[in-house]
Chain A
């Protein structure tokens, strides 16, 4: 008997006509590390909830088939009993909090108390997970006062500390800095070694490929395939399911680098091994790589002439408008603290122009805080702050709203209307558009993010990824000069990320300033001209993606890793 047995599982949410889970059957063995891949809406989160019996016991609807977890039938067994076997880390860390504990330490201990674990054991486990995930120093803080990434760490820690036999994680690293997300995978992998079964939903295919034993490929509620990462990512029809293979696999496919069994390698290690043993022409491979990465990273000696052309091409392509060098935000000697006596910023200086700019850096570095100050939502303790030569302090946030748009990190913090269209029209109406104008704008914005057909729905009924898109649309509709996007790619699948890239490109080609905060370095290297790396409330470096990603000292300090292709290129370079 397998640890988890799913037979012909079907499920439909109340009030819908389509099956969210459509005839799923599979067995999962103890100690396996299983990944779940698939586009938004494929049914991944629904499946995770069905494993714990939350479906159909908390969420009603039509249910068929069976799920048996370690001998317990999910449909009828008490949820509490199922939950003592399997732990679930939610997609949105805010929803994981118990709401009864006012420190991080007690919050993480809460679940262990309920399980009746000895206090001394609780203390040692809590200390262990908090240290492991780098949040030990925040143990006395209220969980609600943490940065998004710090909170996500608390959520993971709170479930991990309970030592469940089965650990289900729903996009647990979406808001983590690259080093943090590596730490999570590494930790979970160690658990799998000790016989704990891991089921992880993730959009980071490179990570799934590296760590999983098997991957479930889901699409429209159906289980398309359940196989090893090599087999799954070598599928020719993968894109049809809204999943892109790891960049290494794509690179291998372009250059026809196959493993002996005919599949493509899925990790950088396998790829490099293959290249080494196969005696492939590194130079040729480098050139091919340069074509994928674009001009920024192509620094082959013989390619200099070509590189020059490419850069010029890129610049003219961006169609920079004449006033593009205009200064927009100027920040001088900025000081800020949430709690008196504990300064987050100790004198920041920054001057922004109209180049698309991205802020990257470790969780809690102060990225969100910085953009909220630019937006006027937080007032600095001291320092000067101007936008287009006007002092920001002298204006209210609402007065600036027509010029500076800001999409919040957590969409649930931003959305407050009961209807998508009203939500998107709220901004345009406030900045003086007529109803018709606002409605046209709103529909346009919703079309841009691909949600026009749900404009009559309640945003709370949409998935997290769609709510994030609604939040983006509601700012796009205002047509502001500056658009600030705080982690726009949270919960987005490949298509969603492409859509956001498209939006950023379009906005900057129209002369608007885009400022984004991101943890996805591949996205950063493709879409931005200027990168600002932050750590511990300081700006560590400010330059082109090329400059930043080759500066290993800065990367390490800011808990970052270079984009996958840059890493590959550096490895190849050394191999040469």
Chain B
């Protein structure tokens, strides 16, 4: 069964980090350039994220995300470059269209912001198993019921895809054509919907009973199978993130930056 989470354990140092340290980094990397308000700050965090992804051999998996963000950035670039409300100083003209400095600056702000967020999020998402993250959150007092729901969301989509596959097998094994031309496959898709939904609904009640039988409703304090102690790398990651964030805030408040 395929998982919808993008996480894959490639054994790299990033995977071994505690989910929380990655979350500290995530928060710091997003906030620092915003607070600093300088474009070169984006360059620093983006560069840091790319280095981290690269050293953990995850850059290739992040590429589609980056490529996707670039299409958005490009659109913003063009639109704002031409139409931004404070456009004043002309940079270049291509026939009838002219690009302005203010617009381009503004849009690079937005663009870098998107890129920065995507990169720092992909560090967390690509290197952390969702169930581990949820488990660590639960240990810090997050509700297990909510935790279960988050976990099962990651299971439900692949499960439904699995059900779809089984039902399609059931249908073609009794003579309904589902293979071949695109039209046939589209036609075969429709009769799948209702049984898949139906089976998801019936399995909900069975799930509820199964959970009860497996002690999910128990009043006991839940325990956790895996513990993930903070390593030195975790400490460094956490404190560097926090310190940098504070540094930027102080610099900003004192007006130095």
Interface residues of A (CB under 8 A from B): 52, 54, 58, 78-80, 83-84, 87-88, 90, 95-102, 106, 109-119, 122-123, 142, 144-145, 158-159, 162, 375, 377, 396-399, 401-402, 405-406, 408, 412-418, 426-427, 430-431, 460, 474-475, 478
Contact = CB atoms under 8 A, between A and B. Distances in A.
B175 A398 contact: yes
Interface of B: 1, 3, 131, 148, 151-152, 155-156, 159, 162, 166-167, 169-180, 195, 198-199, 202-203, 205-227
Contacts of B207: 98-99
Contact of B179 (A113, A398, A431): A398
B170 A478 contact: no
B175 to A, nearest CB: 3
B95 to A, nearest CB: 53
Nearest to A105: B225
B174 A90 contact: no
Q: Which of B148, B176, B210, B226 has the most CB of A within 10 A?
A: B210
A109 B206 CA distance: 20
Contact of B212 (A80, A116, A123, A408): A80
Contacts of B180: 396
Given A83-B217, A98-B211, A401 B152 contact: no
Contact of A396 (B177, B210, B219, B226): B177
A427 B151 CA distance: 38
A399 B176 CA distance: 9
Contacts of B131: 100-102, 106
Given A122-B223, A396-B172, A111 B179 contact: no
19 contacts: A52-B213, A79-B212, A80-B215, A80-B219, A87-B213, A98-B211, A100-B155, A102-B131, A109-B225, A111-B214, A112-B223, A113-B225, A115-B220, A158-B214, A159-B214, A377-B173, A397-B179, A398-B172, A398-B178
A401 B172 contact: yes
Contacts of A406: 173
B218 A96 contact: no
The 6 A-B pairs at the shortest CB distance, nearest first, are namely A430-B175, A80-B217, A116-B220, A401-B175, A427-B174, A416-B195
Of B3, B195, B206, B212, the most chain A CB neighbours within 10 A belong to B212
Most chain B CB atoms below 10 A, which of A95, A97, A397, A418: A397
Contacts of A114: 214-216, 218, 220, 222
A276 to B, nearest CB: 46
Q: Which of A79, A114, A408, A426 is the most central at the interface, judged by chain B CB atoms within 10 Å of its CB?
A: A114
Contacts of A417: 195
B225 A122 contact: yes
A416 B171 contact: yes
Contacts of A377: 169, 172-173
Contact of A90 (B169, B210, B215): B210
A145 B177 CA distance: 26
A398 B177 contact: yes
Given A102-B131, A114-B218, A431 B210 contact: no
B223 A397 contact: no
A397 B176 CA distance: 9
Given A52-B213, A98-B210, A478 B175 contact: yes
Nearest to B174: A427
Contact of B159 (A111, A119, A144, A401): A144
A398 B223 contact: no
Given A80-B216, A96-B210, 5 more contacts: A58-B209, A99-B210, A115-B220, A427-B174, A478-B174
Contact of A430 (B156, B169, B176): B176
A369 B220 CA distance: 42
B155 A113 contact: no
Given A54-B212, A100-B155, A418-B198, A116 B221 contact: yes
Nearest to B156: A99
A122 B222 CA distance: 12
A408 B225 CA distance: 36
A413 B166 contact: yes
A417 B148 CA distance: 31
Contacts of A98: 207, 210-211, 214, 216
Contacts of A99: 152, 155-156, 159, 207, 210
A110 B172 CA distance: 36
A78 B195 CA distance: 34
A486 to B, nearest CB: 11
Nearest to B216: A114
B174 A475 contact: yes
Nearest to A396: B179
Contact of A123 (B148, B199, B225): B225
A100 B135 CA distance: 12
